[in-house]
Amino acid sequence: MNIDKHIEQQYIMAREQYAAIGVDTEKAIDMTDRIPVSIHCWQGDDVKGFEYDDRELSGGIQVTGAYPGRARNGDELRSDMEKALSMIPGRHRVNLHAIYAETNGKKVERNRLEPKYFANWVDWAKEHGWGLDFNPTFFSHPLSDDGFTLSHPDRAIRQFWIEHGQVCRSIGEYFGRELGTPCVTNIWIPDGFKDIPADRFVPRERLEASLDEILKVPIDKKYNLDAVESKLFGIGSESYVVGSHEFYMGYAIKNGILLCLDAGHFHPTEMVSDKISSILQFIPEMLLHVSRPVRWDSDHVVLLDDELQNMMHQIVREDVYDRVHIAFDYFDGSINRVAAWVIGGRNARKAILTAFLEPSEKLKQAEIKGDYTGRLALMEELKTYPIQAVWDYYCLSHGILPRERWLDEVYRYEKDILSKRD
């Protein structure tokens, strides 16, 4: 039997099974297709960027592993991302850091970056119909080596980073204007103390003042959306992080900007999925960084685990998918980097599709009626409904390889392209 014909037959049976509980699989596929997800460029080159050839990562950033084939320039990185995105169904965006500016060998400091240094990215995104998102890079720089940037006690150093934030917002606005879709420009800083600080208040006071200066530069919200991202702790900031969740939550609410919840920036037992409904009570829109913590504050390749599914269930059940901007933030140099993108990307899409294949209203009505038995029973039965059959059909409808068949394509790309890189 032809495998594609087999997939179609399995889908027909799955469609009937879902219809019996009031779920339209065609609508679920269509809704899944509409939600854009922003893939992060820094998975492809181990967060090296194009600014320095040999500078080590700093600011709590570490990438382990030395799998061959790391992208070394913009053309290679874009090629790798194209390959990855060709194996992930749905609407795509691309997420850049400031260190991926292409300056043709010219040394340009981060507080002097301009839109023209990202023209290649914009032209590429236009060609494919993708939006771009952006991030100032507050790490891996001589002026961040002591662990402080926007909260630095030295005014001159703070000013450098303030100017960097300001030019990055202008670049984000340029992306949005050129591509016709708002760019989310997200601020994360590594600032913090390894050991117990004597003063927790003043660094946060300095951070607030610095953020105010960055945001006071007029930017058209039609083209650029500002976001701030917290972290629980990291390498070199184990005892105190200036930009904590509570700090940024208050700042975002006060200033009407997006709050970023990074699933890898909380304690592994802390449920980011539970925070979404609380945050959206007070903030019109938010940014969700899909990542995965392992034992400590880290960013691992996204798995199709309970927390990923719970996050997507929250977004779909509460009908807030137009208020939540979804992006990836993980990096793994120990496996094929293109495969890492594909694994995480497909898992996120599967979780979104699974959420749309749930009879949410039926579950909510059972809850309102106090039928918690029925609610729990249906939730559990849904876990073994034929999501795979719908997913395979969804992939085929986009001309994308279903199941693990995509892996052969990755290995061919590795043999033909990646293995030839030094």
| Catalytic sites, residue numbers | 188, 229, 231, 262, 265, 289, 297, 299, 329
Helix orientation angle between 74-85 and 337-356, rounded to the nearest 10 degrees: 40
The number of angstroms, rounded, from the C-alpha of 338 to the middle of its chain's C-alpha atoms is 16
Location of structure tokens 């991202």: 229
333 DSSP assignment: S
230 neighbors 244 (Cβ within 8 angstroms): yes
Q: How far apart are the C-alpha atoms of 114 and 128, rounded to whole Å?
A: 23
Q: How far apart are the C-alpha atoms of 191 and 344, rounded to whole Å?
A: 28
Instruction: Tell me the pairing of strands 183-187 and 224-229.
Output: parallel
378 neighbors 363 (Cβ within 8 angstroms): yes
Q: Which of 147, 120, 114 shows the shortest CA–CA distance to 132?
A: 120
169 neighbors 219 (Cβ within 8 angstroms): yes
The letter for the amino acid at 109 is E
303 DSSP assignment: P
Q: Angle at Cα 181 formed by Cα 177 and Cα 187, nearest 5°?
A: 85
Q: How far apart are the C-alpha atoms of 194 and 233, rounded to whole Å?
A: 9
* Cα dihedral across residues 84, 86, 91, 95: positive or negative: positive
Residues 6+ apart with CB under 8 A from 310: 271, 273, 274
32 neighbors 356 (Cβ within 8 angstroms): yes
**Torsion angle, CA of 271/274/275/276, rounded to 10 degrees?**
120
Q: Which of 127, 209, 122 shows the shortest CA–CA distance to 173?
A: 122
Q: Which of 288, 358, 268 shows the shortest CA–CA distance to 317?
A: 358
The three-class DSSP label of residue 307 is: helix
